[in-house]
Amino acid sequence: MTEGEGTVRLRPPENALDPRAVSWWRTRTLAVTVTAAGTLAVLGWLIAPARPWLLWPAAAVAVLGLLQAAVVPAWRYRVHRWETTDEAVYVRTGAFLQEWRIAPMSRIQTVDTLRGPLERSYGLATVTVTTASAKGAITIAGLDHELAAELARRLTRITQETPGDAT
């Protein structure tokens, strides 16, 4: 299709997330797994007639959850990357469904940082950048919280210096 031009592809963004994000994702997965499997197990313990119908799924959930906690966070850490230049924000996410998102600085409308309780205990934060498009938001989850605050400040400053209403 692109004779004489070679193959063009998107390069990986420059920066990795904070390594602590791996622990954060792992803890999150484990918490969900324990809750789900635990609920099923307790129910199975209480309701004798339905025991096999509850305990087997509980075991399955536990095994799948543990597998996910073991494999996915490290994988995701390799895949999720981000970069900002003076002109744009660039983020890569997704393993099965890969996604690259690019938003130019001149079109950014809001920059939010968000810290959940679990995220806070790991010293992490999430930065969300929105544009005037309802479908153009960019999220960078798992940044060191000081870096995130600094990034948000920088993006806000650049955005404010740009005239126009970003549509």
As given in the structure block, the two tokens for residue 46 are 């209480």
Among 50-58, 63-71, 72-80, 134-142, the segment contacting another protein (CB under 8 A): 134-142
Q: Is 136 in the site for another protein (CB under 8 A)?
A: yes
Provide, rounded to whole angstroms, the least separation between the CB of residue 130 and another protein: 8
Indicate the SS3 state at residue 123. coil
Burial of residue 87 (number of CB atoms within 10 Å: 0-12, 13-18, 19+): exposed
Asked if 31 touches another protein (CB under 8 A), the answer is no
Distance in Å, CB of 100 to another protein, minimum: 4
CB of 90 to another protein, least distance (A): 5
Binding residues with another protein: total (CB under 8 A):
37
Residue 107 found at the interface with another protein (CB under 8 A): yes
What count of Cα atoms within 13 Å lies in the side-chain half-sphere of residue 82? 20
Q: Which residue from 32, 62, 100, 113 is in contact with another protein, where contact means CB under 8 A?
A: 100
| Residue 15 dihedral angles phi and psi, to the nearest 5° | -100, 140
CA–CA distance, 155 with 88 (Å, rounded to integer): 10
Give the separation between CA 114 and CA 145, rounded to whole angstroms: 9
Among 97, 117, 161, 163, binds another protein (CB under 8 A): 97
Residue type, 109: Q
Residues in contact with another protein by the rule CB under 8 A: 1-2, 5-11, 13, 83, 85, 87-88, 90, 94, 96-104, 107, 109-110, 131-136, 138, 166-167
